[in-house]
Amino acid sequence: MSAPIQLRPDETFILNVGPQHPATHGVLRVKMEMDGEYIVKSETVLGYIHRMHEKMGENRTYAQYLPNLSRLDYLGALGYTHGHVLAIERAAGIEVPERAEYIRAITVELNRVASHLFWFGAFVMDLGGFSPLMYAIQDREHILDMLEAVTGARLTYCYYRFGGLYNDVDDDFIEAARRFIPRMRKSLKKYAALVTGNIIFQKRLEGIAPVSAEMCRKYGATGPVARGSGINFDVRKNEPYSVYPEFDFDIPVYHECDSMARYKVRMDEMEQSLRIIEQGLEKLPAGPIMAEKKPKNIKLPVGDFYQAVETARGSFGIRIVSDGDKNAYRLKLRSPTYSNMHLFDEACEGMLIMDALAFMGSLDLVIPEMDR
Amino acid sequence: MSLTLLNVIVAVVIAIAFAAANAAYLVWAERRGAARIQRRPGPNINGPFGLLQPPLDGIKLMTKQLMIPGGADKILFMVAPVLAMAPAIMSFVTIPFSQGIAAHNMEIGVLMIFAFASMGAMATLFAGWGSRNKYAVMASVRAVSQNVSYEIPMLITAITVVMATGSMDLKTISLAQAGGFWHWNIFPSLHSPLMPISFIIFFICSLAETNRAPFDLGEAESELVAGFHTEYGSMGFGLFFMGEYANIVVGASLTTILFLGGWDCPFGIFPGVWWFLLKIYILIATFIWIRWTFPRTTIYGLLNLSWKILIPISLFNLLLTAGLLKVF
């Protein structure tokens, strides 16, 4: 135990970042071979909180599996449940009332803003600035309160049902959402002044951790990570689903490929989500929130079904192979952070550890979603 | 003979008490200030305005067990926290709080404070190396290179002031600036027209010297867990914490004496210790404000700032002052 540490000048050492480390925001372990402060090689080790969500999907009926999806990504859970219900509805041929789809889009976008806000705070905290996290959490609190009022949960929602929603939104929700939009826009301006314009912040992000479009394609990175590298891909535009074609919104794309580009994509996405919410509240039709013709026990026809949705972290895909039974024969989840994370090992080679951990922050990792 | 000894003991006790009380209550002030910045209440449960928080924290830290990790160098591990705290307290001995309030006035007060300030880097290095923790070693190496590179511009700036006032005695330096704020060293004078820049350099350096954000690379909590004091718990950690705050007070006091006229009143009325305290607490409040606003710099950005910007400017300033002193 107490043998003296012998270091040769050419020797590298292994640094275990995690499974318990403040920068990984969860139980992720990155084994880094270090040469002083420089990373020579890095290896991501996953599986510390694997909960077999895919296997559970094969053992449970489709309806019983609903709450599982929101346990993947606790920050942007609605996007994942949205993907699941869309997949089942398309496979079973259930017609969803328009009002329900509008409410789904509004709540998903609210959830996306909440998720990006939390990421923003945590990312600046990774860089050593603590206060923006508190401001972001305060703004996020409004969203969580709104969603709590309609869904009954603050993080792990089980709001969408096959064919509609569990609960209709009330006037209070619509009023709160209307009030929230200008307040959030004001906050975004404040964040731009406080954080984006900060010289230390810019120095730490600009030109740091370049991720080429090539590398994004190689590892299957999607979402803000890919859009920060100049890949104009967003499932909401490229493979439209739900009522997204009805909305007028832009996909922010940056070509700088650095950490700053990924930061800017997310900050711009919040504004775009606000636009969608605004239009959704404007156009929200009256009507039922639940499909009238819906089988009690859903059984999918024999076949192979896939549905992709754009969540806060990228493109989330759910593939269901059905043998006609009331539960899936095989269920595969394609979670965006899992692919985004695997960039890290290649991209961080030769980087300083502090830049690498800032880069890890810019990937917006949610560990339970990776280790599902 | 015994009276002198008594004097020394009283002075030392007062210095320790002042340093410890400041360290304890600056933690409270920092937490309250941070809470105010972040729109949350902060510690407000224990006592009025949470004022009992620091003694309770102290009791908690003191009743905890001091764990020495297996494989650690026991002697270095135990010595490091003491080394962090002791020099800071020693520095208080020579600081004149007002004309008559100084534990021991020395003719080389500036030199003594800088000598003790350099020992802080040693504590960091011992703590990092003694803990046998890779994060701690990396952090202490960072902190030492940071301390070394920031001491140089800080010393050069201090030398500029010493040259302009012609004394290394802190009391004489303060007295030289007496009689209203326009006499203070922070404002440009005939001999040293670049004094405001010197003040800014000195202020940045004292931020870096005390390992405060945005230069808190030695304890970058998001990268290096807790930096050089990762393995410390109990009062070992407590001493590091108190040492940091004591160093802040020393840094603020030195800035006040060298640049802001010491205990001098800006308008020439009632000069005294209250003005000195007011000035150092304004400086400390600025330290706190900066810490909770800015993100952390990178290590290379930090070293570049020192070697490429601060050192050339302060050297130029030194030469200019020396030349002007010779001419006029």
Query: Which of B37, B9, B211 minimizes the C-alpha distance to B123?
Result: B211
The SS3 call for residue A199 is helix
The pLDDT, as a whole number, for residue A7 is 52
- pLDDT tens profile A322-335: 888 888 899 998 88
Give the count of alpha carbons within 13 A of A19, CB side only. 9
Bridge partners (DSSP) listed for residue A318: A307, A333
* Subunit contact A37:B299, Cβ cutoff 8 A: yes
* Model confidence band, residue A117 (pLDDT cutoffs 50, 70, 90): very high
Contacting A residues, span 166-205, partner chain B, CB-CB under 8 Å: 194-195, 198, 200-201, 203-204
Please state whether beta strands A303-311 and A164-165 pair in parallel, antiparallel, or not at all (unpaired). Answer: unpaired
* Subunit contact A2:B301, Cβ cutoff 8 A: no
- pLDDT tens profile B79-115: 888 888 888 888 887 888 777 777 677 788 888 888 8
Report whether pLDDT(A201) > 80: yes
In DSSP notation, B8-72 reads HHHHHHHHHHHHHHHHHHHHHHHHHHHHHHTTS--S-SSSGGGTTHHHHHHHHHHHS-----TT-
Q: How far apart are CA B141 and CA B222, in angstroms?
A: 17
Chain B within 8 Å of A128 (Cβ-Cβ)?
Answer: yes
The pLDDT, as a whole number, for residue B64 is 87
Tallying the residues shown for chain B, one arrives at: 328
Interhelix angle for A353-362 vs A98-126, to 10°? 170
Chain B within 8 Å of A238 (Cβ-Cβ)?
Answer: no
Contact yes or no for B129/B117 (Cβ under 8 A): no
The pLDDT, as a whole number, for residue A182 is 92
Structure tokens at B261: 């006229």
Chain B within 8 Å of A5 (Cβ-Cβ)?
Answer: yes
- Percentage of the residues of chain A whose pLDDT score is greater than 70: 97
Q: List, in sequence order, the alpha helices (H) in A158-254.
A: 171-191, 199-205, 213-219, 223-227, 235-238
* Subunit contact B39:A135, Cβ cutoff 8 A: yes
Least confident residue range of A72-76, A269-273, B129-133, B171-175:
B171-175
The pLDDT, as a whole number, for residue A1 is 40
Whose structure tokens read 């496979």? A91
Q: How far apart are CA B97 and CA B100, in angstroms?
A: 8
The pLDDT, as a whole number, for residue B317 is 86
Chain B within 8 Å of A19 (Cβ-Cβ)?
Answer: no
Q: H or E element: which one contains A310? A: strand A303-311
Query: Which of B207, B112, B199 minimizes the C-alpha distance to B160?
Result: B199
* Subunit contact A352:B39, Cβ cutoff 8 A: no
Write the residue in A2, A36, A200 that is nearest to B297 by C-beta. Answer: A200
Q: How far apart are CA A98 and CA A245, in angstroms?
A: 13
- pLDDT tens profile A309-322: 998 888 999 999 98
Query: Which of A97, A108, A147 minimizes the C-alpha distance to A285?
Result: A97
Interhelix angle for A171-191 vs A131-151, to 10°? 170
What residue of A is the nearest CA neighbor of B221? Answer: A22
- pLDDT tens profile A202-239: 888 888 888 888 888 888 888 899 998 888 888 888 88
In DSSP notation, B127-176 reads HHHHHT-HHHHHHHHHHHHHHHHHHHHHHHHHHHHHHHHT---HHHHHHH
Query: Which of A246, A219, A245 minimizes the C-alpha distance to A314?
Result: A219
Most B-contacting residue of A37, A196, A351 (CB-CB within 10 A), to test interface:
A37
What structural domains and CATH numbers belong to chain A? 1-50 (no CATH), 52-352 (1.10.645.10)
Give B34's contacts in chain A (Cβ within 8 Å). Answer: 130-131
Structure tokens at A161: 């049902």
Radius of gyration of chain B (CA): 20
The mean pLDDT of A154-183, rounded to a whole number, is 88
Q: H or E element: which one contains B76? A: helix B74-94
The pLDDT, as a whole number, for residue B58 is 85
* Model confidence band, residue A114 (pLDDT cutoffs 50, 70, 90): very high
Bridge partners (DSSP) listed for residue A307: A318
pTM for the full predicted model: 0.85
Region of residue A185 (left: phi > 0; alpha: psi -120 to 50; beta: else): alpha
Most A-contacting residue of B223, B290, B296 (CB-CB within 10 A), to test interface:
B223
Nearest Cα of chain B lies from the Cα of A31 at a distance, in angstroms, of 13
Nearest Cα of chain A lies from the Cα of B228 at a distance, in angstroms, of 15
What residue of A is the nearest CA neighbor of B302? Answer: A200
Contact yes or no for B244/B210 (Cβ under 8 A): yes
The SS3 call for residue A334 is strand
* Model confidence band, residue A8 (pLDDT cutoffs 50, 70, 90): low
Q: How far apart are CA A227 and CA B245, in angstroms?
A: 44
Chain A within 8 Å of B221 (Cβ-Cβ)?
Answer: yes
Distance from chain centroid for Cα A56 = 22
* CA distances in angstroms from A205 to A130, A354, B62, B268, B299, listed in the order given: 17, 11, 41, 48, 14
The 10 Å Cβ neighbour count of residue A205 is 26
Q: How far apart are CA A328 and CA A55, in angstroms?
A: 10
For the purposes of burial, counting CB atoms within 10 Å of the CB of A1, is it exposed (0-12), middle (13-18) or buried (19 or more)?
exposed
Contact yes or no for A331/A305 (Cβ under 8 A): no
* Model confidence band, residue A2 (pLDDT cutoffs 50, 70, 90): very low
Cβ-proximal residues to A130 (8 Å cutoff; 6+ apart), any chain: A124, B34, B38, B292
The pLDDT, as a whole number, for residue A198 is 85
The SS3 call for residue A331 is strand
Whose structure tokens read 């360290």? B23
Report whether pLDDT(A176) > 80: yes
* Subunit contact B38:A135, Cβ cutoff 8 A: yes
* Subunit contact A354:B134, Cβ cutoff 8 A: no
Strand order in the sheet with A330-334: A303-311, A314-322, A330-334
Most B-contacting residue of A187, A354, A360 (CB-CB within 10 A), to test interface:
A354
* Model confidence band, residue A118 (pLDDT cutoffs 50, 70, 90): very high
Report whether pLDDT(A5) > 60: no
Nearest Cα of chain A lies from the Cα of B16 at a distance, in angstroms, of 32
Residues of chain B with pLDDT under 50: none
For the purposes of burial, counting CB atoms within 10 Å of the CB of A295, is it exposed (0-12), middle (13-18) or buried (19 or more)?
exposed
Most A-contacting residue of B222, B293, B297 (CB-CB within 10 A), to test interface:
B222
Contact yes or no for A113/A187 (Cβ under 8 A): no
Average pLDDT, chain A: 86
The SS3 call for residue B80 is helix
The pLDDT, as a whole number, for residue A289 is 84
